[in-house]
Every structure is written in structure tokens, then in C-alpha cells.
Amino acid sequence: MITLFTPTACAIRQLGDGSFLGVVLGSLLWSAACFVALYFGTVWSVHHLLDWHGPLAWAADLLGSVGASLLVLWLFLPLAAVIGTLYFDRIARAVERRFYPNLPPPNRAPWLDQLWDSLALGLRVLGLQVVALVLALALPGVGLLLSWAISTFAIGRGVFVAVAMRRMPRPQAEALYRSARPVVLVQGAVMAIASTIPLINLLVPVLGTAAMVHALDQAVSPRLRA
């Protein structure tokens, strides 16, 4: 039975698929490399900018570590969106080979267009994350819920449209998003929560993209499957 959580459940079930493991490993390595670089880069920057000595140096290191951890969590969704869209064609092909083998080949956009869309998506998500951070600081409690809602929208709509554009023009993909909004936003909500869980969040680029392939299949018109 198809439910709102079917796309994410199917994506999780495929993690052990041999054809999927290479994509998962590549995404994991990119995610880990980005966040290790971001973390240690932030710690180093805080330490050298403050230039404290003696006991204060310990405080600077602690401040840098805490700040870096928060920054990594805050920037996770934008980076996950970029990593996911860079891998989304390989992820989508692995999902389609297993679940939808009768689909015709997609009409993929040129590589430079895909790269531009990836960066644009990351910047849009980053901008919304800034709004979410301001809300979380200005409205404690309520702000956190609003922040989660913004993250849900950003990752849900962005990744779904990127995946849909493998098979249709952008206007049609955006129209399809509007018709499939409930199921898309549920997957976005799950990924927004997962992005706050250490280690699990490294899987968000793969799981989010795979889930949106299933969400697209639920929403797409039958003529596209012929």
C-alpha cells in the first residue's frame, strides 16, 4: 500500500543494494570531507582571529569547537542539497533499475546546466537557512519549529524539482511539485530531521534523492511511464 512514507521507506530499503553502494560511498565521502574541512577550518579561524593566550587559549579552542559544530549543522542542508544534486542522476538510475525498469531513458540536461542547478539549489537552501536561523534566535521554541518547516520546504521542493527535471522541462516539474506537494514535503520533513542526527545526516543526500525518485513515480502521469 502506497503511503506518504513509502518513498523514504523504499529509499532506506535500497541502501544494501550492490548497485547503490558505490553511490552511497561516494556521497558519504564527499559529505564527510566537506564537513571535516568546514569544522577544522572554523576551529582554526576562531583560534587565530581571537589570538588568545594562556587559559584564554583553551576558551578560544572550546568556543571554536562549539561554533564549528553549530555551523556544520546549520550548513548541512545546503551542502547536502549540492552533493545530492551532483549525484542525483546516478542515484536515480540505480533506483529506476531496481524499481522502475520499464521507464524510458531520461533526457538529461547538459553537465554544466546540472552543476549550475546544483549550486543554485544550494544557495537557495542557504538563504532560507539564514531566515530559519534568525527566526530560531528571535522566537525561541516557535522559531525552531519555523526553522524545521523552512528546511522541509527547501529540501523537499528543491530536490524533487531537480529529480523531475531529468524527465521534463522546469515549468512542468514545478507544476508536478504543486500537485504532489503533500508527499514531497513529507520526504523533506524526514530529511530535515535526519540532517540534525550525526552520522545519519551523511546519508541525507542519497536518501533524499532516492526518496524523490519514488515520489516522482507516484506523481508522474502514466504517459511518461509508457
pLDDT in tens, 158-177: 889 888 888 888 888 889 99
User: Which residue range(s) make up the domain with 21?
Assistant: 6-220
The total number of residues shown for the chain amounts to 226
How far apart (Å, rounded) are the C-alpha atoms in residues 7 and 114?
23
To the nearest 10 degrees (0 to 180), the angle between helices 170-179 and 181-194 is 90
- Amino acid (1-letter code) at residue 180: A
Identify the CA nearest to 129 among candidates 28, 35, 137, 163.
137
- Residue 174 in any domain: the answer is yes
- Residue 210 in any domain: the answer is yes
Q: Give the single-character DSSP code of 168.
A: S
- Residue 226 in any domain: the answer is no
pLDDT tens readout for residues 52-111: 566 666 666 666 676 666 666 666 667 766 776 677 788 888 898 888 888 888 876 666
pTM for the full predicted model: 0.75
The tally of domains found in the chain comes to 1
Helix (H) or strand (E) holding 112: helix 111-138
- Residue 225 in any domain: the answer is no
